[in-house]
Copies of this chain bind each other. A is one copy, B any other.
Amino acid sequence: MSRNVTIVEIAKESGVSTATVSRVLSGSGPVSPKTKARVEEVVRKYGYCPNPLAQGLILRQSRTLGMIIPNITNPYFSTLVGIIERAAHEAHYSIILCITSFTATSHKSGGQETEEDYFQMILDKKVDGVIIAGGQIDLCEVSDSYKAALEKLAKAIPVVVIGQTLPDIPCCFVNKEHEKGMVIAVRYLASLGHCRIGFAGGEPGIIITESRLQTYRAVLEQLGLDTDPDLVSVSDYYLPDGYNAAKKLLELDRPVTAILAMNDNIAIGAIRAISDYFLSVPDDIALISCDQFMDGNFLTPRLTSLERHTERLALHVIRLLLSMIQGTQAPEPPDLYPDLIIRESSGKHL
């Protein structure tokens, strides 16, 4: 950080006090048109810009927001970050990005760098607000230390978290919708005549997985279809998980005829496994991705998938945070009702 023009120089050159310069810059307080013009000229000449550190010290704000995510490689999170950064920038805020590398398994094995540490760090940074997406908040069982750290954070600054609502913590919790899409997808597959519908991907102990699983079972029962535990294969959210899950579902004594994939990664891995068994999608196995990551029209086969409107979620979250910071009215919650986009992979009626 090099030495820059300061308000003192500008004041001197303009022949006024720093107070006046400050006034014309902030637009607060009365300034005569002439003085104003003169100061503005000098400001322009030097390309002067107030030091945000000094401003922040007085104003108690940094015009900086923290965003904490477990992973940036996952399209869900990168979409979130993209939209949020853009909206924040338009509102003249910057985003400090924190990537915790949290995974349910690393957590169990006692990951070294914890999300709690990041909470503290972001608190120390004196940001004006924080968005937390995913991580431990998605666990069915949230640790006490996490709750304590989140509470401490939320008591100090506005925070909105995307994930389950934790009681007695002064955050805004924005809940994602996990059930409706599952109901739509299972019913659709059933309407096509499938009786053995597999569930592939997701991590046990994670809310999104468990609640989808529960819905899946409930709808299956309602419909009088098979609900063997064998029909379910969960491990994680990535390509190999889809591959292994599909493999398992195909090797059953009574194999599945349809698979619900947690997301596009799982679906792509599953397609690979299905091909390795010399079977095809959708002729032998129907497939639906429950979380669209890309335009399924360009995959082979064209992937039937659930659009969950991550952009709307992202926009809502940043607007909500901004409203908390500025003390304005909270925005209307967005329509997050998922859309089933029927393409080829789900096939036709059996």
**Interface of A with B (CB < 8 Å)?**
1-4, 49, 51-54, 56-57, 60-62, 64, 71-73, 75, 78-79, 81-82, 85-86, 89, 94-99, 101, 113, 120-121, 123-128, 155-157, 239-240, 242-243, 268-269, 271-272, 275, 294-295, 297-300, 302
CB–CB A128/B295 < 8 A? no
Query: What residues of chain B lie closer than 8 Å to A295, measured between beta carbons?
Result: 239-240
Among the listed B1, B78, B86, which residue makes an inter-chain contact with A128, where contact means beta carbons less than 8 Å apart?
B1
CB–CB B86/A94 < 8 A? no
What are 28 inter-chain pairs, A to B, with CB distance below 8 A? Answer: A1-B56, A1-B127, A1-B157, A49-B120, A51-B126, A53-B56, A53-B126, A54-B57, A57-B57, A72-B81, A73-B79, A81-B97, A81-B99, A82-B99, A86-B99, A86-B101, A89-B99, A89-B113, A94-B98, A94-B125, A96-B97, A239-B294, A239-B298, A268-B300, A272-B297, A272-B298, A272-B299, A272-B302
CA distance A120 to B52 in the complex (A): 13
Among the listed B3, B53, B94, which residue makes an inter-chain contact with A96, where contact means beta carbons less than 8 Å apart?
B94
Q: For the complex formed by this chain, how many copies does it contain in all?
A: 2
Q: Nearest chain B CB to A233's CB is how many angstroms away?
A: 16
CA distance A155 to B2 in the complex (A): 9
Query: What residues of chain B lie closer than 8 Å to A94, measured between beta carbons?
Result: 96, 98, 121, 125
CB–CB A85/B98 < 8 A? yes
CB–CB B125/A97 < 8 A? no
Q: Nearest chain B CB to A159's CB is how many angstroms away?
A: 12
Query: What residues of chain B lie closer than 8 Å to A300, measured between beta carbons?
Result: 268, 271-272, 275, 300
CB–CB B60/A1 < 8 A? yes
